[in-house]
């Protein structure tokens, strides 16, 4: 059980000398490996069936076999989810335990991950860690699984809005660049280096930082920290915090940042990377950069804004737990270590 002496000693054994968790990197994928598209939160509306097919084509183009999980079927669902929390957890656990499945791609986001955080088979993850790809509600899974096991979470594009959506509308050169980037991220044990920057990237506060990449949708960061699966506050020491937001109001973003200020997170991080906002009312007066700098106050850390990850899509991957270098003035973010490894040892 969580919190038992045995569990606590296991957690201590997973710590590095710095007090941070030992990274649990998934096994690097190989050509022909099976990738499963799964409904980890919301259901599949009929109008997005075609997007799933297009997403499968993108993943097959990277050299993988693709299958869809049973809950990913038009007409299935309960309330706002692809099933009950127990049903979603049962399907996810089955994928985690299946040795043939080498990666799991979320179909879409939603509002269901909070309902099954306590039902995930973390021992299966420790025994056979696999990349789980997704953002939005899926970013909550990345934070919680990182906290519980050290698993590298792939805050990256999903099937319906990503591979089968934004990617289809991207210029051919950008799509080819992303396909190469994602394939290398999932298959190579060499560090990616600098992520391909975009014209939207803005230096909101100059500076340089190196640290572990930690983040999610901003409201999911706040929600995760309110659960018993929260990241220990010390794990934010020296981290590069990334976040993005969709919907709501500018005042909500300000409030979430204030929560992180009060909790001590903003006093511990070494840098911040902010995604392109989408559908947030009230931005403009103030701007997002003004909101961020207002809450940061005199905390002299680099801030890189308007980076293309999250709901604005297509997504640059942001692997949770991986060490990065941030140079805000040069508008550069580099992955200093791989997200996957050869073999299965942590």
C-alpha 53: how far from its chain's center? 23
DSSP SS3 for 16: coil
Domains of the chain: 5-187 (3.40.50.10740), 193-335 (3.50.30.60)
pLDDT tens, 229-269?
999 999 999 999 999 999 999 999 999 999 999 999 999 99
- Looking at residue 17, its pLDDT comes to 52
CB 80 within 8 A of CB 49: no
pTM of the model: 0.93
pLDDT attached to residue 66: 98
Q: Is 311 a catalytic residue?
A: yes
Catalytic residue, candidates 41, 87, 91, 136: 136
Q: How far apart are CA 189 and CA 27, in angstroms?
A: 9
Establish whether 210 is a catalytic residue. Answer: no
H helix runs in the chain, sequence order: 5-13, 49-61, 85-97, 122-127, 138-149, 167-169, 172-187, 218-225, 250-263, 265-268, 288-296
pLDDT beneath 70: ranges in the chain: 1-18, 344-346
Active site annotation includes 136: yes
Active-site residue (options: 91, 245, 311, 337)? 311
Q: Which of 41, 142, 155, 244 is catalytic?
A: 244
**pLDDT number for residue 21:** 84
pLDDT at 8: 42
């Amino acid at each position: 059980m969580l919190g038992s002496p045995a569990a606590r000693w296991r957690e201590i054994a997973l710590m590095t000398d710095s007090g941070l968790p030992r990274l649990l990197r998934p096994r690097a994928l190989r050509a022909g490996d099976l990738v499963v598209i799964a409904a980890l939160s919301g259901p599949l509306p009929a109008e997005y069936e075609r997007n799933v097919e297009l997403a499968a084509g993108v993943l097959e183009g990277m050299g993988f076999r693709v299958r869809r999980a049973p809950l990913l079927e038009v007409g299935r669902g309960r309330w706002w989810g692809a099933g009950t929390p127990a049903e979603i957890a049962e399907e996810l656990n089955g994928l985690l335990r299946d040795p043939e499945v080498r990666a799991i791609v979320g179909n879409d986001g939603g509002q269901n991950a909070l309902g099954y955080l306590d039902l995930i088979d973390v021992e299966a993850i420790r025994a056979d860690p696999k990349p789980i790809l997704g953002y939005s509600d899926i970013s909550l899974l990345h934070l919680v699984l990182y906290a519980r096991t050290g698993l590298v979470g792939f805050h990256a594009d999903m099937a319906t809005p990503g591979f089968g959506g934004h990617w289809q509308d991207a210029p051919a050169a950008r799509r080819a660049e992303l396909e190469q980037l994602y394939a290398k991220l999932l298959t190579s044990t060499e560090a990616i280096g600098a992520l391909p920057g975009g014209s939207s990237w803005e230096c909101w506060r100059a500076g340089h930082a190196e640290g572990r990449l930690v983040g999610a949708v901003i409201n999911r960061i706040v929600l995760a920290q309110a659960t018993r699966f929260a990241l220990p506050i010390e794990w934010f020491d020296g981290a590069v915090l990334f976040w993005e937001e969709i919907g709501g109001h500018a005042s909500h973003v300000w409030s979430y940042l204030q929560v992180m200020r009060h909790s001590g997170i903003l006093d511990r991080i070494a840098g911040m990377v902010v995604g392109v906002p989408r559908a947030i009312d009230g931005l403009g007066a103030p701007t997002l950069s003004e909101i961020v700098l207002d809450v940061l106050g005199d905390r002299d850390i680099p801030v890189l804004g308007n980076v293309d990850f999250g709901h604005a899509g297509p997504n640059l991957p942001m692997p949770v737990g991986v060490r990065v270098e941030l140079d805000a003035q040069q508008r550069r973010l580099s992955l200093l270590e791989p997200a996957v490894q050869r073999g299965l040892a942590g």
